Structure 1
Amino acid sequence: MELRHLRYFQAVAEAGSFTLAASRLHIAQPPLSRQIRQLEEELGVQLFERTTRALRLTEAGRFLLEQSRLLTARLEEVLEGTRRLGQTERRWFGIGFVPSTLYGFVPELIRLLRSADERVEVGLMEMNTLPQLEALKAGRIDLGIGRILLDDPAIERRVLMTEPLMAAVPLHHPLAGQASVSVDRLAREPFVLYPARPRPNYADHVLGLFRAAGHAVQVVQEANELQTAIGLVAAGLGVTVVPASVQRLQRQDVAHVRIDADAFVSPVIVSYRKDDASAFLAQALELAGDLATRQGSGSR
């Protein structure tokens, strides 16, 4: 499959006609029809319902149209960013981050880095730790900020701080008014696990802490996003475990309770390529270390 197949497919789907789509694309209709047939053959599904009166998308076609629009929109962003960097001779510095770190020092780090050097454009990508390592090795990002340690010979990792973990419970839950909760008591509650994938991730870290304490939690629901998990807790589906900084969300329908166990902490870890000796990376690491130390001091 080539990019043109998706563009041709989108044109036909949006026009609702091979003839009209061919006119808009400035190509003849027969080659356009062949391209769409090739796409259907490669996918092994029918994308259009062809009748003498109308051309309609199948369920598979509707799905492909929605998803391919997201892909091509992202591609346009990448191309525009490439043009902008090439025209201004600015350097790109990519940061990958797990969402839960945005409630700590990371927003301040991003703000400082974006104004640190006018010759450097700082780009942001939300991604879990495992995809961060692949993105680092591929050069798509230059710095990863995550919460689990993964070994890779090409990647250097540095733990900036450890953050206490807390139980997030529905506001009217019996635990909501408690100053703290034991691991044994917490493990008896139905559990909302996040993120669901890709694994390994923060979810495995939390499950590992429970296992080390001799408990297995009953997972009743999985969520990919932190905000979704918190929303499910507010809806009463169960409890979950979050870094202490997440309290800054200040949701009125969720209470946060300290977990009475010293081991229940989550590290904040920066990852970068071992062979990256750039001055801007060194500056970013120094800033991250300073901000993490400040946050750690302020939380005690």
Structure 2
Amino acid sequence: MELRHLRYFCVAAKELNMTRAAAKLHIAQPPLTRQINNLEKELGVRLFDRGPRGLALTAAGQFFYEHTLQILEKVDTTVADTRRIARSHRQLFSIGFVPSVFYGQLPLLVRGLRQKDDVELTLVELTTVQQIQALKAGRIDIGFGRLRLDDPEVEQEVLFEEPLMAALPKGHPLEGTTPSMAQLAEYPLILFPATPRPSMADTVLGMFRRRGLKITVSQEANEMQTALGLVASEMGITLVPEQVKRVQRDGISYVYLAEKHITIPILCSRRRGEVPSPVMQEANAILEVLVENRRSGRYP
């Protein structure tokens, strides 16, 4: 399957007429029809219903059309951005991150790097597992996550350990207390992210399991904000890193745990053995200051 096949399909799906679509694409109608037929065979589904009044998208065809438009838009944007970076002679530096680290000092790192005239900065929301894959593939240069993973091609540095807090619905019996893990286990738990695994969800499950505590998982969410919305809806409680308490959301209270030693790390992931570029050296210098600020109490 080639990009031109996707473009042919999108024009045909928009026009719902092979003759008009072929004219717009500046090709003959029979080759366009063959290309669409070949695409359907490759997918193993029928994309169009063909009737006397013309073409109509099937349910599968409509789904494929909507997602193909997104793919082509992303391709066009990527091509345009690539040309823009080449013209500006700026160095591309990509950061992968899990959302919960963005409530702390990561924005200060981004702000510092954005002040450099020769850097084109991109941010990509990825789980820690996805960050490892993206680092190995060269899609990002540095990642910030929560999960310790063992990969020979990637090194992980623990920036600091962050206390976990319980996010409770307003009016919850544990609001205003410092509950133990045993007390939390008595209430339905909301986990995030649901996929891909392993993730912070598995870390939290392990914390209860190691203490011999049985829990009831009421819901799994892919995003932290969704999990917090479920908490506000009184679907259950969830555990979040301390920095998340900066999220002032109606219907939610945050409480510290009785077990002060229960923490979750903020990890910085980089490609192992790679000579740091000037931009990476700058990022490392900024990180060193930010971590020291955190450890010395100058930044909560």
Q: Same fold (TM over 0.5)?
A: yes
Aligned to 1:80: 80
The separation in 1 between residues aligned to 2:273 and 2:162, in whole angstroms, is 29
Q: Deviations over 1:206-229 (max 9, x none)?
A: 111111222232112111111111
Contact conserved, 1:104 with 1:295, CA < 8 A, in 2?
Answer: no
The separation in 1 between residues aligned to 2:299 and 2:260, in whole angstroms, is 15
- Note if 1:191 corresponds to 2:189: yes
Structure 1 residues 163 and 40: CA distance shift in structure 2, 3 A: same
Contact conserved, 1:170 with 1:254, CA < 8 A, in 2?
Answer: yes
Aligned to 1:37: 37
| Residues 230-245 of structure 1: pairs in structure 2 closer than 5 A | 230-245=228-243
Q: CA deviation at 1:292?
A: 2.8
Aligned residues: 298
Aligned to 1:217: 215
The separation in 1 between residues aligned to 2:28 and 2:222, in whole angstroms, is 45
The separation in 2 between residues aligned to 1:30 and 1:216, in whole angstroms, is 64
SS in structure 2 opposite 1:295? helix
What percentage of aligned pairs have identical amino acids? 47
Shift >2 Å, 4+ stretches: none
The separation in 2 between residues aligned to 1:293 and 1:228, in whole angstroms, is 32
SS in structure 2 opposite 1:181? coil
Q: Which runs of 5+ in 2 are unaligned?
A: none
Contact conserved, 1:157 with 1:270, CA < 8 A, in 2?
Answer: yes
Q: CA deviation at 1:112?
A: 0.8
Aligned to 1:92: 92
- Note if 1:288 corresponds to 2:287: yes
Relative to the length of structure 2, the TM-score reads 0.95
| Residues 129-278 of structure 1: pairs in structure 2 closer than 5 A | 129-176=128-175, 178-277=176-275, 278=277
Q: Deviations over 1:26-63 (max 9, x none)?
A: 11111111111111111111111111113111111111
Q: Deviations over 1:169-191 (max 9, x none)?
A: 11122222x23111001011111
Q: CA deviation at 1:12?
A: 0.9
Contact conserved, 1:193 with 1:222, CA < 8 A, in 2?
Answer: yes
Contact conserved, 2:232 with 2:250, CA < 8 A, in 1?
Answer: no
Query: RMSD value over aligned CA atoms?
Result: 1.4
- For 1:67, the aligned partner's letter is H
- Note if 1:28 corresponds to 2:17: no
Relative to the length of structure 1, the TM-score reads 0.95
Q: Which runs of 5+ in 1 are unaligned?
A: none
The separation in 2 between residues aligned to 1:104 and 1:291, in whole angstroms, is 10
Q: Deviations over 1:259-280 (max 9, x none)?
A: 1113421111101112322122
The separation in 2 between residues aligned to 1:76 and 1:268, in whole angstroms, is 35
The separation in 2 between residues aligned to 1:229 and 1:257, in whole angstroms, is 16
